[in-house]
Amino acid sequence: MIILGISAFYHDSAAAIIENGVIVAAAQEERFTRKKHDPGFPSNAVAFCLEYAGTTLNQLDAIVFYDKPLLKFERLLETYYAFAPRGLKSFITSMPVWIKEKMFLKRMINEELVKLGYDKKKPVQMLFPEHHLSHAASAYYPSPFEKAAILTVDGVGEWATASICLGEGKDITILKELRFPHSLGLLYSAFTYFLGFRVNSGEYKLMGLAPYGDPGSADVQRYVEIIKKDLIELKEDGSVWLNQDYFDYATGLKMVNEEKWEALFGFKKRNPEDSLDAVHCNLGLAIQRVTEESMVLMAKEAKRLTGADYLCLAGGVALNCVSNGKLQKSGVFDEVYIQPAAGDAGGALGAALAGYHIYFGKERIVDWKPDAMQGSYLGPVFSDLDVKLTAKKYKAVYTHYEDFGKLSEDVAKILAEGNVVGWVQGRMEFGPRALGGRSILGDPRNAEMQKKLNLKIKYRESFRPFAPSVLAEDVSEYFDYDGISPYMLLVHPVAERRRHPLPEGYNAADVREKLYFLRSDLPSITHIDYSARIQTVHKETNPKYHQLISAFKDLTGYGVVVNTSFNVRGEPIVHTPNDAYRCFMRTEMDYLVVGNYVFSKTEQPEWTERDNWQEEFVLD
C-alpha to C-alpha distance for 322 and 328, rounded to whole angstroms: 10
Whether the bond into 96 is cis, omega within 30 of 0: no
Q: What percent of the chain has pLDDT over 90?
A: 79
- What's the confidence (pLDDT) of residue 481? 96
Cβ atoms within 10 A of the Cβ of 566, count?
A: 28
- What's the confidence (pLDDT) of residue 90? 61
Check: CB of residue 180 under 8 Å from CB of residue 161. Answer: yes
- What's the confidence (pLDDT) of residue 265? 97
User: Where are the domains positioned within the chain?
Assistant: 1-142+341-372, 143-338, 384-616
Q: Is the pLDDT of residue 570 over 70?
A: yes
- What's the confidence (pLDDT) of residue 616? 62
Q: Which residues contact 52 (CB under 8 A, 6 or more apart)?
A: 17, 24, 25, 380
Check: CB of residue 195 under 8 Å from CB of residue 210. Answer: no
- What's the confidence (pLDDT) of residue 454? 82
- What's the confidence (pLDDT) of residue 249? 85
Mean pLDDT of the chain: 92
- What's the confidence (pLDDT) of residue 354? 98
- What's the confidence (pLDDT) of residue 79? 59
The domain made up of 1-142+341-372 has a fold known as Nucleotidyltransferase; domain 5 (3.30.420)
Domains 1-142+341-372 and 384-616 share a fold: no
**Across 24-33, 185-194, 299-308, 512-521, least confident range:** 512-521
Q: What is the mean pLDDT of residues 260-269?
A: 97
- What's the confidence (pLDDT) of residue 455? 82
**What are the tens digits of pLDDT across the range 310-346?**
999 999 999 999 999 999 999 999 999 999 999 999 9
Scanning 355-493, the segments in alpha helix (DSSP H) are: 384-394, 404-416, 449-452, 475-478
- What's the confidence (pLDDT) of residue 322? 95
Homologous superfamily, domain 143-338 = ATPase, nucleotide binding domain (3.30.420.40)
C-alpha to C-alpha distance for 597 and 595, rounded to whole angstroms: 6
- What's the confidence (pLDDT) of residue 85? 57
The domain made up of 384-616 has a fold known as DHBP synthase (3.90.870)
C-alpha to C-alpha distance for 67 and 7, rounded to whole angstroms: 8
Closest to 620 (Cα-Cα) out of 452, 468, 461? 461
**What are the tens digits of pLDDT across the range 363-390?**
998 987 789 999 999 999 999 999 999 9
At residue 412 the predicted structure's pLDDT band, cuts being 50, 70 and 90, is very high
- What's the confidence (pLDDT) of residue 71? 64
C-alpha to C-alpha distance for 69 and 98, rounded to whole angstroms: 10
Closest to 618 (Cα-Cα) out of 40, 42, 35, 199? 35
- What's the confidence (pLDDT) of residue 97? 61
- What's the confidence (pLDDT) of residue 100? 56
At residue 406 the predicted structure's pLDDT band, cuts being 50, 70 and 90, is very high
- What's the confidence (pLDDT) of residue 273? 81
- What's the confidence (pLDDT) of residue 526? 93
- What's the confidence (pLDDT) of residue 91? 59
Tell which wins on pLDDT, 187 or 513: 187
**Across 37-41, 67-71, 391-395, least confident range:** 67-71
**What are the tens digits of pLDDT across the range 84-101?**
556 556 656 665 665 655
Check: CB of residue 400 under 8 Å from CB of residue 596. Answer: yes
Which strands form 490-493's sheet, in the order they lie side by side? 399-400, 597-600, 591-594, 421-424, 438-442, 560-565, 467-471, 531-537, 490-493
* Predicted TM-score of the model (pTM): 0.94
* DSSP helix, strand, coil percent of the chain (3-state; round to 5): 40, 20, 40
**Across 31-40, 63-72, 563-572, least confident range:** 63-72
Q: What is the mean pLDDT of residues 40-59?
A: 98
Q: Which residues contact 172 (CB under 8 A, 6 or more apart)?
A: 133, 136, 137, 140, 150, 165, 166, 354, 357, 358
Check: CB of residue 66 under 8 Å from CB of residue 41. Answer: no
**Across 73-87, 116-130, 234-248, least confident range:** 73-87
